[in-house]
């Protein structure tokens, strides 16, 4: 058998240590997962209430057009239904974009480190990946535009960026869109959109009319708390959607995910509460970092990238023994950092003490 050459150089996604495994290994009753930027408050109680009624007709294939959630999202974000494409998480929309636009001989431009799925899927399609290092946690947008040539098909922008949490201001984004040639699809991944409250935030959806080469990605996995159901979407000009649709599997979002997403969208008070609590806990965490001389990136998301005087792996191991699963930055090429999802107030208090013990007192 012969697989694509490139796959030999790639690793399968390595899932974090399972919660049950960690509990057993360290004799803990409770594990707090702060590694994947999930919503610590769960998901809308309205979805929970309605769930039994959503689990029906499972013998029937889902609506491949996702008509009901399509209509709902179109109204909610004020675009036309023809401007939407749904995916099994926005991860899948990333994959569909790569399947549609990338191939050997083509190239794609992105920051590094950023969300790893852009690179992963681009490589599988055989495209050249041009990675432009972040500067101080920020996309180096000038250099990214510099890297664009006539073979460039897709330029990826993640704002707020995963893993740094830093957002890109509107003047900078407008300038990228103005400078990027029409043959390049610009993807703005807004997975953390709901948490973004900066005054200079860019209205990416508002830019769609003027820039038909733009795709905006959103997801129900983060603030909406539905990561386990897998549903996200892309918004673009109908012509772009028409290019993408043939590369989409016909029944890629499940009946339950489509129905749950509708109810979740209707419960904006759950989102507001989650965002508000995230903000309070984030401010408290920053205060702790400031007081202890720990530096961090100014995040606009529900996670923070923290600089440590020790290696990220060491801190990861230490926190693991205390029941906290975080993400070490070492593998991302960010030495002496961890990425920490901002969790519940009581858990953040404990993790702060544990971090302090390890750093200030050198406790093992
Ligand atoms: C989590 C995340 C996604 C993917 O979310 P899905 O669960 O696949 O919708 C996409 N982009 C970024 C930047 C993310 O952090």
Residue-level pLDDT at 14: 72
Residue 149's nearest CA partner among 184, 104, 186, 123 is: 184
Residue 195 CA to ligand 1 center (angstroms) comes to: 14
The topology under which CATH files domain 45-266 is 3.40.640
Q: Which of 221, 231, 254, 339 to mutate to test the pocket of ligand 1 (most atoms within 8 A of CB)?
A: 221
Whether ligand 1 lies within 6 angstroms of the CB of 232 is answered as yes
Residue 191 CA to ligand 1 center (angstroms) comes to: 5
Pairing type for strands 337-341 and 327-328 reads antiparallel
Spatial CB neighbours of 233, under 8 Å, sequence gap ≥ 6:
73, 84, 85, 86, 87, 90, 93, 217, 218, 219
Whether ligand 1 lies within 6 angstroms of the CB of 219 is answered as yes
The number of the ligand 1 atom at minimal distance from the alpha carbon of 219 is 9
Show the beta-strand stretches assigned E in the chain.
32-33, 84-87, 107-112, 128-133, 152-158, 185-189, 214-219, 232-236, 303-307, 324-325, 327-328, 337-341
Whether ligand 1 lies within 6 angstroms of the CB of 257 is answered as no
Between CA 364 and CA 314 the distance in angstroms is 9
In tens, the pLDDT along 31-54 reads: 999 999 999 999 999 999 999 999
In tens, the pLDDT along 110-168 reads: 999 999 999 999 999 999 999 999 999 999 999 999 999 999 999 999 999 999 999 99
Q: Which of 73, 89, 223 to mutate to test the pocket of ligand 1 (most atoms within 8 A of CB)?
A: 89
**CATH code given to domain 5-43+268-362:** 3.90.1150.10
Structure tokens of 224?
């909406």
Residue 303's nearest CA partner among 323, 329, 321 is: 329
In tens, the pLDDT along 165-212 reads: 999 999 999 999 999 999 999 999 999 999 999 999 999 999 999 999
Does the predicted model carry a pTM greater than 0.95? yes
Between CA 93 and CA 45 the distance in angstroms is 27
The number of the ligand 1 atom at minimal distance from the alpha carbon of 161 is 13
Q: Is the peptide bond before 113 cis (omega within 30 degrees of 0)?
A: yes
Residue 364 has pLDDT above 60, yes or no: no
Q: What are the sequence ranges of the domains in the chain? A: 5-43+268-362, 45-266
E strand or H helix that includes residue 272: helix 268-291
**pLDDT band per the 50, 70, 90 thresholds, residue 301:** very high
Between CA 315 and CA 308 the distance in angstroms is 8
């Amino acid at each position: 058998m012969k697989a694509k050459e490139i796959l030999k150089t790639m690793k399968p996604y390595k899932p974090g240590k399972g919660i049950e495994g960690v509990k057993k290994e360290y004799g803990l009753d409770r594990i707090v997962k702060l590694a994947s930027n999930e919503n610590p408050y769960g998901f809308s109680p309205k979805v929970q209430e309605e769930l039994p009624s959503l689990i029906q007709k499972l013998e029937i294939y889902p609506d491949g057009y996702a008509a009901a959630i399509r209509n709902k999202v179109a109204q909610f974000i004020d675009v036309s239904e023809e401007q939407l494409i749904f995916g099994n998480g926005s991860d899948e929309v990333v994959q569909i974009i790569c399947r549609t636009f990338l191939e050997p001989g083509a190239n794609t431009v992105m920051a590094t480190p950023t969300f790893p799925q852009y690179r992963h899927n681009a490589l599988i399609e055989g495209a050249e990946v041009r990675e432009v290092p972040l500067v101080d946690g920020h996309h180096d947008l000038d250099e990214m535009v510099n890297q664009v040539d006539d073979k460039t098909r897709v330029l990826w922008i993640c704002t707020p960026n995963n893993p740094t949490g830093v957002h890109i201001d509107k003047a900078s984004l407008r300038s990228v869109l103005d400078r990027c040639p029409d043959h390049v699809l610009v993807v703005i991944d807004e997975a953390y959109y709901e948490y973004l409250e900066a005054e200079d935030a860019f209205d990416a959806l508002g830019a769609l009319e003027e820039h038909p080469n733009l795709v905006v990605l959103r997801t129900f996995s983060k603030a909406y708390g539905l990561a386990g159901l897998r549903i996200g979407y892309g918004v673009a000009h109908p012509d772009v959607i028409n290019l993408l649709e043939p590369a989409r599997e016909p029944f890629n979002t499940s009946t339950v995910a489509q129905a749950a997403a509708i109810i979740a969208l209707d419960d904006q008070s759950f989102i507001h509460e989650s965002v508000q609590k995230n903000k309070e806990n984030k401010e408290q965490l920053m205060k702790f970092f400031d007081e202890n001389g720990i530096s961090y990136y100014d995040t606009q998301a529900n996670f923070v990238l923290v600089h440590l005087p020790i290696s990220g792996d060491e801190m990861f191991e230490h926190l693991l023994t205390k029941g906290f699963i975080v993400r070490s930055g070492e593998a991302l090429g960010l030495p002496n950092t961890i990425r920490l999802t901002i969790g519940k107030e009581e858990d953040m208090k404990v993790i702060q003490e544990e971090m302090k013990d390890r750093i200030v007192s050198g406790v093992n």
